[in-house]
Amino acid sequence: MNPQIIRDLVRLRNHNHSMNEIAKRLALSTSTVKRYIDRAKTLGLTWDELKAITDSELGTLFRFSTESEQNSQNLDWSSIYAQSRGKKGLTLKQLWQRYCDPSELSYSGFCKQFKQFKENLPPELHELSLTMNWDPGEVVMIDYAGTKIPIKDPKTGAFREVNVFVGVLAYSGLTFCIATERQTRQDWLDAIITMLDFFEGTPQYLYLDNSTSLVLKADKYSPRICDELLSLCDYYGCVAYAVAPGKPKYKATVEGAVRLVTDRIIYPLRKRTFFSLETLNAEMRKLLLEHNRRPFSERVQETRLSVFEDERSFLTELPAIRFERTMIVKTLKVQRDYVVRYQNRRYSVPYQYVGRSVRIIIFPYRKLLQCFDLDSGEKIAEHQLRDDGPRTVMAYEHMPSQHRFVLMTADELLERIGRGGPNTALFAKRIVNGLTKREAVRLLRGLHNHQQKFGLAVLEQCCAEVLQRLNPSYSELLNILDKRDVESKQTITRPIKHGGRIEIKTSNNIRGINYYKQRSEQNRESKHE
């Protein structure tokens, strides 16, 4: 048996774990655990003495002379084969450690004989597999490894075992793994988000098994997936796909990735001592990089990283903001008053989006609502969530110009009108002096309309004229503007030869060409009669 497993076995017993608990943690039979515990008692070794013994000495002390371990030909291959197919996460290396003495039969020899046993099985018992071809950027498969990694508490010295999440892109085989405390829903979601950051993009589908943390009801045709995962997938633009229950071959790619991660990353790290999850994950990243750079066994000229370079462009670009579990994602239609509705409140967006659908993201803990363009992903609006005060939260910059004008205060109108000149500004202040806010706003709107009609220069001249009078008033300004309007209508400009123009005074008493044309037609009609 592996010396490290012997040490783990004795250590756990030293911490008062039961035989069944130890067997379950180390994937051993209870009888095997008892046999090694009894040998440690017989030898009279303490845990401190055991730690100081070398691997070779440990192997010699705990070597058993049973027939099954001395003679590999007498191994119960039928039982080994049944276990290799039945228990999830149980690897051939674990079975080798469980049934064999490394000094009597090497792992490679064990695998060779196991392969020969399978080849000699009757045809009806042969395992058949279907090779699936995946498109670039189509699928990522996720799962947890069956083997865990111990972490030591630096204060108490106690060990706890953490889980290892594994994700793999089906096309390139690019693999990701990260250690998490448990396998809770939050652990799954955090690991998925970190995985997508690692890939720097999102595939079309997220293949998962029927973990109760994510799948509320397993079903071959219509599984029920938890809302948190659905929101995450909707946010990143992918589809969660739970494989049919009891069909691990549907995600054989990740099963294979889990085995490789177990052999190349988990087992080497189990031999080391870690005091924090962060330190463990940092070392795991180093081994993960080596794994992704290692050539394929059948395609030695390619690596997972090199194939991923061809796949990278097929992944959907990640959103600018990282998903949060409490985040609420919705697609809403912008109303005629350029607002979206959320929890009996109305939040404005640019008026150009009226009638279009937009994506809103709500961050409840931060009390923040953000709105994004569905096509470009650009953020177009942001508001603090309100649970009191006005039911409509309106941003001035979202309004069209005509609506902004309607909502202008007297001070804002004075500032805007005053841009026409000093006389205009002075006159505006004088006419609203002593008026109520509503009266002042109404009068200033009228003055602004005249400014738009006659132009800034004309109104500035008229205001200068009316200010010279004893009691300048709005009505006097209107009289001056009306007079200007009449005079302008009595003067027309006509072009002449050589590019010149001439001003012609007109009058209502002057008979123009239309008058004489009308008279000619009337005379013609009278002669005909």
For the stretch 349-408, pLDDT in tens is 999 999 999 989 888 877 889 999 988 888 999 999 988 877 888 888 898 877 877 777
Same domain, 345 and 454: no
Same domain, 383 and 520: no
- H-helix or E-strand containing 18? none
Give 417's Cβ-side CA count (13 Å radius). Answer: 31
Instruction: Give CA separation, 222 vs 232, 241, 244, 298, in Å.
Output: 19, 10, 9, 38
3-state secondary structure of 75: coil
Give the Cβ contact number of residue 277 at 10 Å: 16
Q: What is the CATH number of the domain that holds 288?
A: 3.30.420.10
Same domain, 112 and 247: no
Q: Cα separation of 333 and 327, whole Å?
A: 19
Q: Take residue 294 and report the two structure tokens written for it.
A: 């290692």
Same domain, 348 and 454: no
Same domain, 19 and 70: yes
335 lies in a domain?
A: yes
Q: What is the pTM of this model?
A: 0.50
Give 463's Cβ-side CA count (13 Å radius). Answer: 25
Distance of CA 122 to the CA centre of its chain: 50
Give the Cβ contact number of residue 245 at 10 Å: 13
Phi-psi region of 126 (alpha: psi -120 to 50; beta: other; left: phi over 0): beta
Decide which of 347, 380, 402 is a domain's last residue: 402
Q: Take residue 125 and report the two structure tokens written for it.
A: 């018992």
319 lies in a domain?
A: no
321 lies in a domain?
A: no
10 lies in a domain?
A: yes
For 486, residues 6+ apart whose C-beta sits below 8 A from its C-beta are: none
How close are the terminal C-alpha atoms of the chain, in Å?
131
Same domain, 360 and 239: no
For 142, residues 6+ apart whose C-beta sits below 8 A from its C-beta are: 165, 166, 167, 191, 192, 195, 206, 207, 208, 254
Decide which of 125, 155, 177 is a domain's last residue: 125
Q: Take residue 300 and report the two structure tokens written for it.
A: 């030695």
Q: What is the CATH number of the domain that holds 376?
A: 2.40.50
Same domain, 412 and 474: yes
234 lies in a domain?
A: yes
Same domain, 478 and 427: yes
Same domain, 387 and 419: no
Q: In what order do the strands lie in the sheet with 368-373?
A: 328-333, 357-363, 368-373, 379-384
360 lies in a domain?
A: yes
Same domain, 337 and 357: yes
Q: Cα separation of 19 and 442, whole Å?
A: 89
* Helix/strand/coil (H/E/C) assignment for every residue in 266-288: HHHHHCCCCCCHHHHHHHHHHHH
Same domain, 392 and 293: no
320 lies in a domain?
A: no
As for how many domains the chain has, the answer is: 4
Decide which of 90, 125, 160 is a domain's last residue: 125
Q: Which residues in the chain show pLDDT less than 70?
A: 1, 63-74, 86-89, 101-104, 122-131, 246-251, 487-529
pLDDT computed for residue 317 by the predictor: 92
Same domain, 259 and 209: yes
Q: Cα separation of 74 and 96, whole Å?
A: 14
Q: Take residue 107 and report the two structure tokens written for it.
A: 């792992």
430 lies in a domain?
A: yes
Q: Cα separation of 242 and 291, whole Å?
A: 27
Residue-number span of the structural domain to which 377 is assigned: 328-402
pLDDT computed for residue 71 by the predictor: 44
Q: Cα separation of 527 and 492, whole Å?
A: 37
**DSSP per-residue string spanning 158-193:** -EEEEEEEEEEETTT--EEEEEESS--HHHHHHHHH
